[in-house]
Amino acid sequence: MDNQNFLANEKIGRLMRKYAVPCIISLLVGALYNIVDQIFIANADYLGSYGNAANTVVFPLTVIALAIAVMVGDGCCAFVSLHLGQGEAAKAKKSVGNAIVMTVGFSLILTAVYLLFSGEILTVFGGTVNEQTYALSKEYFFWIALGIPFYMFGQAMNPVIRADGSPRFGMISILSGAVANIILDPVFIFVFRWGMMGAAVATVIGQIITAVLAVVYLTRTKSFRLEKGDFRLNMRIAGRTLTLGLCSLLSQLSLVAAMAAINNMVRKYGALDPVFGQEEYAQIPMAVVGIVMKFFQIVISIVVGMAAGCIPIVGFNMGAGRRDRVKSLFTRLLLCEAAVGAVALIIVEAFPQALINIFGAAQESVYYTDFAIKAFRIYLCMMIPACVNKASFIFLQAMGKAAASTALSMIREIVFGVGFAILLPLFFGLDGVLYSMPVSDILTLVISVILIVRTYRELGSAPKSTS
């Protein structure tokens, strides 16, 4: 009850700091799992750009696992927040029990699919750019697939922990796993020289630590106590939970579709390029695009963390009828997201050389560096619209507007993201792949602005809450 009063009465600015900062750190650390692997792989002389390209191929497959996990976790988080706001704690804890069962079931199925069809899956995501990249992709993917159940459980339970009023514990659980990964990566890659296997095993160990900490928390929750009956699937509650999390699933899956399209267009049009069509340079575009996407992932982790951290606040206050507080929160969120985009834009336009140096540019050819600088400056030139768009998706979801949120996300990633990644290279070759990102974000912003205006009208002209 104390936590519920806090959400209803505390100043909006303080609530944002309490919930958003730990969520941002949690997602940033989660993003660092793959990025740290790529940094160490890039700086290992026996892996280099081939290992980087392999990491790029596998990355979308980890996003698929994340998509399913956040569908369950974010959906449960929204369900719990809305029902706690309405004073229905019994339904809230039932949703948590159902979320645990669904996460375990989905993760085991996905692991089996990955292990049984690894070759075919890697081919779909561009793994056949050359023979060495494919071999390293397969090695890395095998070990990553084994860790999928732990990864999904930790990621799915993190939003649930936040909804229970413990964003700091959620942050610590993710951070603990990431620290283990950072410590073990150089040991396994440089000391033991385990290559891609070493990077993957370090990642999985970190994921196991996060999952174990999530289990520990679930035995001592604040707002409810899980009982045996909560783990029996209730199709109505499970269905509502998944519906509320559908936007999170589709936004991630649509991102995977865009990645698959981009990887395959990079492979196809890279082969037609006078430089990258040569066998010894064929992996460079794939490696570079992966690095650029990883930087974008860092920025989006901040953006999503800021918005997702507000889900319990939005859900509770919508359930309690405090739309004035929701409106105030929305305004602050949009301004903060735009500021994050502006800072990111300055970094990618002013310091692309410094960014690419982190990923082993010193030991690569001049073609690697030149293409990387161009990729950073073109692909990420519309960071401000990208950040505002993402915040709009998540805020609409938190308000219970799953349909509008899902539609906007699908238009951005599938219609624009995949469409322009396939269309623009027909006219601009390999550079067309880079243009696809800014064009998609500009067009999506037009739709986002319309939905933002409608949201403000719906929330009404209620008096501003204390800030």
Kindly tell me if the per-residue pLDDT of 80 is higher than 60. yes
- Please tell me the predicted confidence (pLDDT) of residue 11: 83
Angle between helices 48-85 and 195-218 (to 10 degrees): 10
Separation between Cα atoms, residue 439 and residue 150, nearest integer Å? 37
Kindly tell me if the per-residue pLDDT of 426 is higher than 50. yes
Separation between Cα atoms, residue 435 and residue 379, nearest integer Å? 6
- At 272, the amino acid letter reads L
pLDDT tens digit string along 183-225?
A: 999 999 999 999 999 999 999 999 999 999 999 999 988 888 8
- Please tell me the predicted confidence (pLDDT) of residue 258: 85
- Which tokens go with 417? 């993201």
pLDDT tens digit string along 255-276?
A: 788 889 999 999 999 999 999 9
- Please tell me the predicted confidence (pLDDT) of residue 151: 95
The closest of 290, 449, 464, 455 to 360, measured between CA atoms, is: 290
- The highest-confidence range among 57-71, 78-92, 387-401, by mean pLDDT, is 57-71
- At 17, the amino acid letter reads R
Separation between Cα atoms, residue 224 and residue 96, nearest integer Å? 10
pLDDT tens digit string along 112-147?
A: 999 999 999 999 998 888 899 999 999 999 999 999
- Please tell me the predicted confidence (pLDDT) of residue 317: 84
- Please tell me the predicted confidence (pLDDT) of residue 38: 82
Supply the Cα-derived Rg of the chain in whole angstroms. Answer: 22
Is the dihedral angle over the CA atoms 247, 249, 252, 253 positive or is it negative?
A: negative
CB 36, CB 200: distance < 8 Å: no
Higher pLDDT, 330 or 107: 107
Report the chain's mean pLDDT, rounded to a whole number.
88
CB 281, CB 371: distance < 8 Å: no
- Please tell me the predicted confidence (pLDDT) of residue 463: 41
The closest of 204, 370, 390, 193 to 297, measured between CA atoms, is: 390
- Please tell me the predicted confidence (pLDDT) of residue 396: 83
- Which tokens go with 462? 């209620």
Listed in sequence order, the DSSP H helices in 219-320 are 235-244, 246-271, 284-308, 311-319
pLDDT tens digit string along 350-373?
A: 999 999 888 776 778 899 999 999
CB 337, CB 306: distance < 8 Å: yes
What is the chain's percent helix, strand, coil content, to nearest 5? 85, 0, 15
Greatest extent of the chain over all pairs of C-alpha atoms, in Å: 66
Separation between Cα atoms, residue 96 and residue 113, nearest integer Å? 26
Separation between Cα atoms, residue 309 and residue 188, nearest integer Å? 34
**Range in 121-130, 142-151, 381-390, 456-465 the model is least confident about:** 456-465
- Please tell me the predicted confidence (pLDDT) of residue 280: 86
- Please tell me the predicted confidence (pLDDT) of residue 326: 86
- Please tell me the predicted confidence (pLDDT) of residue 112: 98
**Confidence grade of residue 466 (pLDDT, cut at 50, 70, 90):** very low
Kindly tell me if the per-residue pLDDT of 467 is higher than 70. no
**Confidence grade of residue 170 (pLDDT, cut at 50, 70, 90):** confident
- Please tell me the predicted confidence (pLDDT) of residue 181: 93
pLDDT tens digit string along 3-48?
A: 556 777 788 888 888 888 887 887 787 677 768 888 899 889 899 8
- Please tell me the predicted confidence (pLDDT) of residue 34: 67
- Please tell me the predicted confidence (pLDDT) of residue 462: 44
Separation between Cα atoms, residue 56 and residue 34, nearest integer Å? 9
Q: What mean pLDDT is predicted for residues 72-80?
A: 90
Helix (H) or strand (E) segment spanning residue 391 = helix 383-398
Q: How far is residue 65 from each of residues 71, 109, 114, 300, 318, measured CA to CA in Å? A: 10, 11, 10, 18, 30
Higher pLDDT, 235 or 83: 235
**Range in 352-366, 376-390, 439-453 the model is least confident about:** 352-366
Percent of the chain with pLDDT over 90: 53
- Please tell me the predicted confidence (pLDDT) of residue 5: 62
Domain residue extents for the chain: 10-459
- Please tell me the predicted confidence (pLDDT) of residue 410: 83
